[in-house]
Amino acid sequence: MHKVKQNSTQQVIKKRSLSQLIQIVEEEIQFPDNNVTVMSSIQKQIKKTENSFVPSSGKDIGQLRKLVLNHEYYTSIDGNIITEKYIKLKRTRRAIKKQKYQQQFMFLQTQANPFSQTQTAYLQPQYFNQLQIQNMYSPALAQNLQGTNYDQQLSAFQQNQIMHLQTLPSLEQANSQIMKQQLGQQLLVPQQSLQIQQQQSMIQIQNHSQNGEYQGMVNNYMKMDRVQLSVKKDVSKLDEESESNFSDDYEESSESDQMVYEKFSYTYSYMQNDRKKDITIEHHDLKKLVPNQYLNDTIVNFFLKFFEVEILSQEMKEKVLIFNTYFMSKLAPNDQIEQLSSSSFEVINGLFEKNYQAVRRWIKEDIFEKQFLVFPLNLPEHWSVIIVCNHKNLFDQDEKSEARQQNSSENPTTIDEDDEQDQDKEIKDENSSNKPKKEYNKPCLVYFDSFGLLDPKYSNMIRLYLNKEYETKKKSTIQKNIVYNERTLPSHQPLIPRQTNYVDCGLYLLEYVENFLNDPQQILSLFNNTEFDEWIHLRWFPRCNIHKKRKFIKELLIDLSKLSKEEAAKNYQQKRANLLELKKDNASQYDEIDMEEFEDHIDEIAEYEEDYPNTQEEKHRQLLDFYMNPNFNKYDVV
Amino acid sequence: MTDQNANANSEYLNLKVKSQEGEEIFFKIKKTTQFKKLMDAYCQRAQVNAHNVRFLFDGDRILESHTPADLKMESGDEIDVVVEQVGGSF
């Protein structure tokens, strides 16, 4: 019976046009778990036709392929397949790139030899000007690059280079003004179609001005090549199938899910400061949890609140204050980005004073009673989060040290002994409690961003806010001059799992906060520790937590509309615990994707610098560079 | 007469609705009227989709079903309008 059904679905798929298949997969991503057999037969079809090549179907089949991969990403049980695929893809690409680079280099070496030394000098980066690079992209080359196999393309490129080198006059002649002009006329390619390529070349030249235009040129060539390769893999058979009606059972079953979406409305109520507060999640908010959608403020605020109120332990709840997403948008609005980036303190402070008035009445709690303040940030089209930790300890510590100073002024001879005894006690305490890591209790600000951003203007605004709150609400009781600045409240950025696509940063924000508040010391103890290995092998959470989170939150909301809050929270926690249990033994793989990206980055540097120092210190420096600079975040879209 | 006036005054509130750009619109609303009415009026006037804006009072979202009395609002109170925040990449 089952077999018959499967056969029939396969036949149905064969009759489908590409656009219909795309629609099926899209629906399957939005309303998953309805028909495993259909998806697997689509996958089989794609695999079967992997090596055929029809240009006309290129775009559609590429889209289908991407969707199928996307579907796998969001439905695979533990994310292992994706990690493996991703890493395999990366490694193959790197190998191909290396091989090509070597081939290019060898070729240029051999071609250069027959010429005189002055000619060889042309191969030095400084002699490559824009004009010559234009010539590398002559229409002849562009045409030859249409060839489907790599060898053809390479030989086309080489041919072009030979032509190019032959037209070059000697260095001395080229230096004379007249020859330069002649060369210009000879090599100028005025076709409009080349303009884009010229622009690309310009960009490449700018990017690689330090490393030589040659590298830029090779990179540019590779980029074209990659496009070619990706088209090459496309499939033909699926496209030509006749368009047939589809009236299958899975259509209907997904419809019932659609009904849930269209009717959905749930109001989550909780108590805060003895006042009832509500967050309403409507059907259009629920749709933000469908794969490939950006999360919105409603979902972020709901989940953070729900997590704080229903899931966090009572002990932790008292230590934490989670701000809503509007708070930082009022304090550092996106339309003030340029002004806030200004270096003038007066400008920034002026804006702060104005913006502070808008949020002055928002927070009823005493922020200095809390240990952790969570500020979600909404940058243009991006989510990240700042967590202020131990800010209270700034004046608490001051009290202690002042007390000590007072003691010491009374008994100046015994200072050292006192201090030593104190230290001894601390060490003993640690040993007795058997804690593997020393707790980090210094005031600090931790910046979590799935793209590795660390934007000082947001942390500065938060420091100004803390200062202002202290001045207006706390100073009279504490009676001390406290200033939060970069020294007293430094920013830290741990090396956390980063984003591997361009849609999930909201999920990363939620996962960062959830993990951090579950065990703050796992991150905070890093700042005690300067051990390189500890930093890079954080093993914080498996990446499947991210792509399962959409599903979990969606199911949580649907549970909440049917069950009690306690039951829904329990279900959510159970699912998450199961997932973590499944991945527990593979904790070493948690950071694998990030490490792979880093290796890629190191390789690229090694290409430019011949005697690249491979020392541990240098690698460490590069790694930090890599993590701190969003420009290095070149994850491919999974 | 004076009693009636006082009653009328206490029954209605003057609320200031402030957009992100700083534009202010004043609304007169009954204490027991649901905010849906005010929100619809604002969205129509500002020509925005109701799904894309949020109304905040002291930082908390106002629901359509809330009334000024629910939120213990007083005349002259300010409502902030913010647009939906989204994010996924950079």
- Mean pLDDT (whole number) for A590-608: 72
Q: Tell me the C-alpha distance between A383 and A366, whole Å.
A: 26
**What integer pLDDT is reported at residue B55 of this predicted model?**
95
Answer yes or no: do A326 and B87 touch at CB < 8 A: no
pLDDT at A166 > cutoff 50? no
What average pLDDT is seen over chain A?
A: 68
Residue A214 or B8, more confident: B8
Render pLDDT for A362-381 as a digit per residue (tens, 0 to 9).
Answer: 998 899 999 999 999 998 88
In angstroms, what separates the C-alpha of A300 from chain B's closest C-alpha?
Answer: 10
**What integer pLDDT is reported at residue A386 of this predicted model?**
96
Q: Tell me the C-alpha distance between A633 and A292, whole Å.
A: 19
**What integer pLDDT is reported at residue A530 of this predicted model?**
65
Long-range residue pairs from A338-343, CB within 8 A, at least 24 positions apart, any chain: A340/A457, A340/A461, A341/A457
Q: How many residues does chain B have?
A: 90
**What integer pLDDT is reported at residue A541 of this predicted model?**
87
Q: Tell me the C-alpha distance between A474 and A7, whole Å.
A: 73
Q: Tell me the C-alpha distance between A420 and A112, whole Å.
A: 71
Residue A181 or A227, more confident: A181
Residue A388 or A80, more confident: A388
Identify the residue whose tokens are 């619109």. Answer: B25
pLDDT at A502 > cutoff 90? no
Element (H, E) at A131: helix A130-136
> Which residues are A448's β-sheet partners?
A385
Cβ A447 vs Cβ A493: under 8 Å:
yes
pLDDT at A429 > cutoff 90? no
Cβ A399 vs Cβ A391: under 8 Å:
no
- The count of other CB atoms within 10 Å of the CB of residue A386 is 23
Cβ A74 vs Cβ A546: under 8 Å:
no
Element (H, E) at A280: strand A275-282
Answer yes or no: do B90 and A451 touch at CB < 8 A: yes
**Domain segments of chain B: what residues?**
12-83
Nearest to A453 among B66, B82, B90 (CB): B90
Residue A68 or A413, more confident: A68
> Which residues are B25's β-sheet partners?
B17
Residue A529 or A486, more confident: A486
Calculated CA dihedral for residues A18, A24, A26, A31, nearest 10 degrees = 180
Instruction: Give the phi and the psi of residue A221 in degrees, each rounded to 5.
Output: -60, -45
- Of A602, A580, A608, the closest CA to residue A518 belongs to A580
Q: Which residues on A lie below 8 Å from B63 (Cβ)?
A: 267, 278, 280
Q: Percent of chain A at pLDDT above 90?
A: 22
Q: Which among A58-62, A308-312, A394-398, A606-610 has the top mean pLDDT? A: A308-312
**What integer pLDDT is reported at residue A390 of this predicted model?**
93
**What integer pLDDT is reported at residue A516 of this predicted model?**
95
Identify the residue whose tokens are 């420009």. Answer: A631
Answer yes or no: do A295 and B63 touch at CB < 8 A: no
pLDDT at A189 > cutoff 80? no
Name the residue in chain B with its Cα closest to that of A453: B90
Give CA angle at B31 (B26, B36), nearest 5°.
Answer: 70
> Which residues are A445's β-sheet partners?
A388, A491
Q: Which among A427-431, A473-477, A496-500, A567-571 has the top mean pLDDT? A: A567-571
Nearest to A362 among B59, B66, B86 (CB): B59
State the DSSP code for A266: E
Distance, C-alpha A325 to centroid of its chain: 20
Q: How far is CA A516 from CA A302, A481, B37, in A?
A: 18, 31, 41
The structure tokens listed for A450 are 């799935």
**What integer pLDDT is reported at residue A526 of this predicted model?**
83
Name the residue in chain B with its Cα closest to that of A451: B90
**What integer pLDDT is reported at residue A514 of this predicted model?**
95
> Residue A570 — pLDDT band, cuts 50, 70, 90?
very high
> Residue A331 — pLDDT band, cuts 50, 70, 90?
very high
**What integer pLDDT is reported at residue A603 of this predicted model?**
72
Render pLDDT for B6-46 as a digit per residue (tens, 0 to 9).
Answer: 455 578 899 999 998 888 999 999 999 999 999 999 999 98
**What integer pLDDT is reported at residue A335 of this predicted model?**
86
State the DSSP code for A388: E
The structure tokens listed for A303 are 């989940």
Answer yes or no: do A278 and B56 touch at CB < 8 A: no
Of A73-87, A256-270, A271-285, A330-344, the least confident: A73-87
Beta strand B78-83 with B12-18 is parallel
Q: Percent of chain A at pLDDT above 70?
A: 51
What distance separates the 2 farthest-apart alpha carbons in chain B?
62
The answer to whether residue A561 neighbours chain B at the CB level (below 8 Å) is no
Calculated CA dihedral for residues A65, A68, A73, A79, nearest 10 degrees = -90
Name the residue in chain A with its Cα closest to that of B86: A296
**What integer pLDDT is reported at residue A381 of this predicted model?**
85
- Mean pLDDT (whole number) for A172-200: 42
- Mean pLDDT (whole number) for A131-152: 44
CATH number of A260-398+437-542, picked from 3.40.50.450, 3.40.395.10, 3.40.50.1950, 3.40.470.10: 3.40.395.10
The answer to whether residue A326 neighbours chain B at the CB level (below 8 Å) is yes
- Mean pLDDT (whole number) for B40-68: 92
**What integer pLDDT is reported at residue A396 of this predicted model?**
75
**What integer pLDDT is reported at residue A216 of this predicted model?**
40
The structure tokens listed for A114 are 């027959």
Cβ A25 vs Cβ A214: under 8 Å:
no
CATH of domain B12-83: 3.10.20.90
Identify the residue whose tokens are 């109701």. Answer: B50
Q: Tell me the C-alpha distance between A18 and A582, whole Å.
A: 36
pLDDT at A339 > cutoff 90? no
3-state secondary structure B29-87: EECCCCHHHHHHHHHHHHCCCHHHEEEEECCEECCCCCCCCCCCCCCCCEEEEEECCEE
**What integer pLDDT is reported at residue A33 of this predicted model?**
53
Contacts of A299 (CB under 8 A, 6+ apart): A281, A285, A288, A289, A506, A553
Q: Is A446 left (phi over 0), alpha (psi -120 to 50) or beta?
A: beta
Residue A356 or A166, more confident: A356
Q: Which residues of A537-567 are buried (b: 16+ CB within 10 A; e: fewer)?
A: ebebbbbbbbbbbbbbbbebbbbbbeeeeee
Answer yes or no: do B88 and A325 touch at CB < 8 A: no
> Which residues are A280's β-sheet partners?
A267
Name the residue in chain A with its Cα closest to that of B21: A335
> Model-level pTM greater than 0.90?
no
pLDDT at B56 > cutoff 90? yes
In angstroms, what separates the C-alpha of A632 from chain B's closest C-alpha?
Answer: 13
